[in-house]
Structures are given as structure tokens and as C-alpha cells.
């Protein structure tokens, strides 16, 4: 019996995520790579690397859906179809957590909040894609300024003993504020916690537009930062569910959509 596979390629501004599933929706493999200048080439390379890691050939994949920042180029060169990241993140989150009703996705350079029906349909959403404040890029810049890794920032959050408020939401101004705080002798742990709190307040502003219906799921690379998740939980007053690998949720959703589209085409 021939086993068919389906791929989702999520080309984001900072990272490319590829996920391959079988006909049952089980993950056969996934791969995360840095986004390079030539989106279509780096996207296809990440796709081929994912297949190789999963022990698959291109001929094994029946249908491919692209999503994310570079989905248009991917669909022109090697994907069969493109789907918005809103739909893909909603699909992936709902498959991982069947109880999901609100999805918070913080990516490399934008943030989204998606409201779902009980059946998993997108009923409302809002996003911030005009500014990198409160995104993965924001955290990268702040980590570099503090001389720590992103993983270290996550742990430092829980060692904070003093509340510090970061008043700037702009990445450039917030960086200047961090420099000033360091010059004043403030502890890096407290600054990190303040940065995480500023992200949480920004997300709260988006969530207010959509409304909070539990269960709340967080996807995207920033969801790997337990400090940010903790800050958002406190700001919203709810428990947040995080997938085992939150960064591939969009690619996983795209792969599931690829499977369903293929089945529909075959009928």
C-alpha cells in the first residue's frame, strides 16, 4: 500500500518552518531553518531538508501548501497552493488542542490573535504587522543588548525580584530605555521581566479586540519563552496552553490543509 504524505511550508520573516504529515495527520517530520534573503530558494531548501530528515523523497508528497510571509513566492515555485497564516495557525492549534477557542501567535515580526468557533472555524481575528514591537525580533534585539541568549531570557524572568516598567513599545526606543536602565544599575533579570510585561500588555490590547474565550493556545517561536507566556497569563488572567513545538503550528496546520485539499480534489 502506497502511503501519501502532505507538506506545509511556513515561510516567516525570521524562520522557515516545514512540516510533513501522513494521511492520518500524524507528523512524519518537521524542520526549522533561518529565513535567507532569497525566500523561494531558502524555502525549497528547508522543504528538501525536512524530507531528507524524514527519510522521504519529493515523489512521496502528494500536495504542498505554503503559508506565511513568503507564501506567494513559494506557491509560484514549488508549493501547490497558498493559504493565509491565520487559517493555518488556527487549524494547527485546533488539531493539537481540540478545546482551543483563542489562539495567540507571536512570530518574528508580527502578532496575531484569532478567535475560533467550537468547530475550529475562524470567527474573528486581529493582528499587528506594522511594527516589530513585542515580536521575536524585538526579543532578539533586547537579548543582544543585554548580552544573553533567548533561552537565558526565559529563565531570567523567574528570577526577577523588582518590578520595572518599560514605557516604550517601539523597538528602537525600548532598546534605548534598556541601555539607560543598565546604566542606572538595574538588574538584568528585572529588565527582562519588564520587557516581557510590555509584550504582555501589547498582546492584551490585541486580545481585547477579539475577546478571550478559553482555552487559550499560544503558537509561534516566542511561545518557547516561558517568561513571556507567564507574563501574558498574568495579564489576561487565564492559563495558556503551549504546543510541544509551538513554532511549527502554522506549518502543521498548512500540512493538514494540504491533506484535506488533496482528498477533496480526488473526489
Q: How confident is the model at residue 74 (pLDDT cuts 50, 70, 90)?
A: confident
pLDDT tens sequence across 26-67: 999 999 999 998 888 999 999 999 999 999 999 999 999 999
Query: Does domain 5-88+248-266 correspond to CATH entry 3.40.50.300?
Result: no
Whether 29 and 49 have beta carbons less than 8 Å apart is answered as no
Q: What is the pLDDT of residues 85-100, one digit of tens each?
A: 999 999 999 999 999 9
pLDDT of residue 267: 63
Where does CATH 3.30.420.40 sit in the chain?
Answer: 5-88+248-266, 99-242
Convert the pLDDT of each residue in 105-115 to its tens digit. 998 889 999 99
Task: Please tell me the predicted confidence (pLDDT) of residue 129.
Answer: 65
Q: What pLDDT is stored for residue 73 in this prediction?
A: 85
| 240 conformational bin, left if phi > 0, alpha if psi -120 to 50, beta if neither | beta
pLDDT mean across residues, the chain? 94
Percent with pLDDT over 70 in the chain: 98
Strands 111-116 and 122-128: antiparallel
The domain 99-242: what is its CATH number?
Answer: 3.30.420.40
Amino acid at each position: 500500500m502506497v502511503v501519501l504524505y502532505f507538506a506545509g511550508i511556513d515561510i516567516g520573516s525570521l524562520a522557515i518552518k516545514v512540516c510533513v504529515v501522513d494521511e492520518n495527520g500524524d507528523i512524519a517530520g518537521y524542520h526549522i531553518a533561518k529565513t535567507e534573503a532569497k525566500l523561494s530558494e531558502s524555502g525549497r531548501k528547508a522543504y528538501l531538508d525536512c524530507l531528507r530528515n524524514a527519510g522521504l523523497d519529493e515523489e512521496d508528497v502528494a500536495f504542498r501548501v505554503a503559508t506565511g510571509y513568503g507564501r506567494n513566492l513559494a506557491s509560484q515555485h514549488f508549493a501547490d497552493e497558498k493559504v493565509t497564516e491565520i487559517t493555518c495557525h488556527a487549524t494547527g492549534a485546533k488539531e493539537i488542542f481540540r478545546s482551543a477557542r483563542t489562539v495567540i501567535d507571536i512570530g518574528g515580526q508580527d502578532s496575531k490573535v484569532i478567535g475560533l468557533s467550537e468547530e475550529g472555524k475562524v470567527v474573528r481575528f486581529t493582528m499587528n504587522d506594522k511594527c516589530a514591537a513585542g515580536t521575536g525580533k524585538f526579543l532578539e534585539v533586547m537579548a543582544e543588548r543585554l548580552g544573553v541568549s533567548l533561552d537565558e531570557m526565559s529563565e531570567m524572568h523567574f528570577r526577577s525580584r523588582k518590578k520595572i516598567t518599560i514605557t516604550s513599545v517601539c523597538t528602537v526606543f525600548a532598546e534605548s530605555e534598556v541601555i539607560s536602565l543598565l546604566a542606572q544599575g538595574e538588574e538584568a533579570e528585572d529588565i527582562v521581566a519588564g520587557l516581557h510585561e510590555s509584550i504582555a500588555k501589547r498582546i492584551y490590547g490585541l486580545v481585547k479586540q477579539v475577546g478571550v474565550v478559553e482555552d487559550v493556545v499560544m503558537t509561534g517561536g516566542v511561545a518557547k519563552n516561558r517568561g513571556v507566556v507567564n507574563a501574558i497569563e498574568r495579564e489576561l488572567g487565564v492559563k495558556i496552553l503551549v504546543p510541544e513545538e509551538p513554532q511549527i503550528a502554522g506549518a502543521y496546520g498548512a500540512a493538514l490543509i494540504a491533506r484535506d485539499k488533496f482528498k477533496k480534489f480526488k473526489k
